[in-house]
Amino acid sequence: MIYLAEIVDEIKSDLLSGMTYNESRFDDEYIEVKIHAARAHLIAAYLKKMGKFINDAWVQTLDISFEERDKNCEFVTFECPNVISTDGMNDGFVYVGHANGLKPFTRIRKGFTTLTRHSIFLRKKDIVWDFKHLDQNRLVLQFYNNSKLEHIMVRAMFNNPTTIPNFNKDTDHYPVDENLKHDIVQLVTQDLFRKTSRPVQNGTTNIPE
Amino acid sequence: MKIEDIIAAAAEELNCSYENNALWFEVLVNQAIRSHKTMNKYIQKSKNLTITDSKATLPSDWFKVIRVTLCNTNEHYCPDIDYTIQEDTIIFDAAIGIADGTRIVFHYYGLNTDKDDNIIIPDDWERMLVAYIGWKYTRRYINDFGMGVMQNYQREYQTQKLANV
């Protein structure tokens, strides 16, 4: 089990050259934001360059109940946190489907493309879904062809793993493996070193003019 | 085998998500089947259709029309003169004056279907259809796969297509 606080401590310790004392110039929340961003960036890079194998340790499972039904348009809406974007072929969704985890539903759209204008879509009787960014920053999953749907399961690599409902930073595993943790620590530490290092000023050097 | 089996095999082959690509892959499977000019696996079928407003919806598994006849008298209708087919609809010339509710028999070549009227794809076509999906998918994402991979799928599709004539 890897916890978020453990990664924050490791980064702080690296920034202090391995000397572990409680004092630190860095705010924990700031480092956490950096960790989430580094995780998303590294997973996207792994999927693009390293054969797209998704380690299950990066994935979080979410059981969601329906948010609202639109009877006129016949879709059901579920709120869902944002997922990471990887490349033109994939994003962070690993499974969206039946609550038993065995029946994935088909996705309508991927990026720019939409097949809702194709007659194949009109003949579809299976449940299909789409991920939409609605007004007021509401990110939702919309399901068509079954207005009675109440529970679904989502398995995904979320942008910020701590924003999923009921996630407790102190007790829940942060979705990374040791390899990814190592790369996150390295990336964040390098970034913070670069930001905190100051250029040498001419006035303080001993070089004679 | 079902169309879903072909899509699942292609998603595994291309190491991509099933649910993200299922709709598009279904379109591609239909394209490949329609452009595969063979009568080898097709069987003769017939279905009674009811005309409404000089039109009727054709069965989803039809591939090629054999003949269209009137239900009671067996009178033949001529293609392109008495009727035309647009996508999944047969449209009769209004001048013939076919009354609503008239029953016709649509004789056609089609693939086998299951109890839900979904077509059953011959097992021999799996490699051909997976290769077709592979060709189109790698062409769309050519920057990720490269020209060589795309051409391999294209060649495999052409070879399998010839093998299944």
Q: What ipTM score was computed for the predicted complex, to two decimals? A: 0.72
Task: Provide the 10 A C-beta neighbour count for residue A45.
Answer: 13
Q: For residues A46 and A118, state if they share a domain.
A: no
Q: Kindly report, residue by residue over A58-102, the tens digit of the pLDDT.
A: 999 999 887 777 767 678 888 899 999 877 677 889 899 999 888
Element (H, E) at A34: helix A28-49
B88 to chain A: which residues are within 8 Å by CB?
119
Closest CA to A67 of A59, A75, A77: A77
Residue in the block written with tokens 């869902």 = A80
Mean pLDDT of A43-65: 83
**Residue A112 pLDDT exceeds 80:** no
Q: For residues A98 and A13, state if they share a domain.
A: no
Question: Following DSSP, what letter does each residue of B66-77 receive, concatenated?
Answer: EEEEETTT--EE
A112 to chain B: which residues are within 8 Å by CB?
none
Q: For residues A72 and A115, state if they share a domain.
A: yes
Q: For residue B83, what is the DSSP state?
A: E
CA angle B155, B160, B165 (to 5 degrees): 130
B20 to chain A: which residues are within 8 Å by CB?
89-90, 93, 107, 110
Q: Is the pTM for the entire model greater than 0.80?
A: no
Is any Cβ of chain B less than 8 angstroms from the Cβ of A98? no
**Looking at chain A, which residue has its C-alpha nearest residue B19?**
A106
Is any Cβ of chain A less than 8 angstroms from the Cβ of B89? no
**Looking at chain B, which residue has its C-alpha nearest residue A49?**
B144
**Looking at chain A, which residue has its C-alpha nearest residue B28?**
A120
Element (H, E) at B40: none
Q: Kindly report, residue by residue over B29-40, the tens digit of the pLDDT.
A: 999 998 888 888
Rounded distance between C-alpha atoms, residue A141 and residue A138, angstroms: 10
The answer to whether B59 touches A147, Cβ cutoff 8 Å, is: no
Which of A86, A107, A119 is best to mutate for the B interface (most B CBs within 10 A)? A107
Is any Cβ of chain B less than 8 angstroms from the Cβ of A121? yes
Residue B69 CB contacts under 8 Å (≥ 6 apart), including other chains: B75, B76, B77, B104, B105, B107
Are the beta carbons of B23 and A120 separated by less than 8 Å? yes
Residue in the block written with tokens 């969601």 = A64
Are the beta carbons of A110 and B87 separated by less than 8 Å? no
Q: For residue A102, what is the DSSP state?
A: S
Rounded distance between C-alpha atoms, residue B61 and residue B112, angstroms: 8
Q: Is A168 helix (H, G, I), strand (E, B) or coil?
A: coil
Say how many CB pairs under 8 Å bridge A and B: 52
CA angle A189, A193, A199 (to 5 degrees): 170
In a domain, A65, yes or no: yes
Residue in the block written with tokens 């499974």 = A95
Is any Cβ of chain B less than 8 angstroms from the Cβ of A56? no
With DSSP H G I counted as helix, E B as strand and the rest as coil, what are the percentages for chain A, rounded to 5?
A: 30, 25, 45
Q: For residues A3 and A68, state if they share a domain.
A: no
Burial pattern B49-75, b for ≥16 Cβ within 10 A else e, equals bebeebebebeebbbeeeebbeeeeee
Q: Kindly report, residue by residue over B104-153, the tens digit of the pLDDT.
A: 999 999 888 888 878 899 999 999 999 999 999 999 989 888 999 999 99
**Residue A113 pLDDT exceeds 70:** no
Q: For residues A66 and A99, state if they share a domain.
A: yes
Q: For residues A143 and A184, state if they share a domain.
A: no
Rounded distance between C-alpha atoms, residue B117 and residue B112, angstroms: 9
Structurally, what CATH architecture does the domain formed by B43-110 represent? Sandwich (2.60)
Domain that holds residue A151: 58-160
Q: For residues A50 and A96, state if they share a domain.
A: no
Are the beta carbons of B144 and A106 separated by less than 8 Å? no
Residue B165 CB contacts under 8 Å (≥ 6 apart), including other chains: B37, B38, B40
Q: For residues A146 and A95, state if they share a domain.
A: yes
Chain region(s) in chain B for CATH 2.60.40: 43-110
In Å, how far are A132, B60, B71 from B82, measured between CA atoms? 48, 22, 16
Are the beta carbons of B19 and A119 separated by less than 8 Å? no
For residue A206, the model assigns a pLDDT of: 60
Q: Kindly report, residue by residue over A136-190, the tens digit of the pLDDT.
A: 778 889 888 888 888 899 999 999 999 888 889 889 999 999 999 999 999 999 9
Pairing of strands A128-134, A106-107: parallel
> What's the burial of B44, exposed, middle or buried (CB within 10 Å: 0-12/13-18/19+)?
exposed
Q: For residues A81 and A131, state if they share a domain.
A: yes
Closest CA to A155 of B159, B11, B19: B19
In a domain, A82, yes or no: yes
Q: For residues A28 and A112, state if they share a domain.
A: no
Number of compact structural domains in chain A? 2
A143 to chain B: which residues are within 8 Å by CB?
none
As given in the structure block, the two tokens for residue A107 are 């996705």
E-assigned strands of chain A? 60-65, 68-70, 75-79, 93-98, 106-107, 109-110, 113-114, 128-134, 138-144, 151-156
**Looking at chain A, which residue has its C-alpha nearest residue B11?**
A89
For residue B41, the model assigns a pLDDT of: 82
Are the beta carbons of A104 and B18 separated by less than 8 Å? yes
Closest CA to B59 of B69, B51, B48: B48
Q: For residues A64 and A136, state if they share a domain.
A: yes
How far A134 CA lies from chain B's nearest CA (Å)? Answer: 21
Q: For residues A10 and A66, state if they share a domain.
A: no
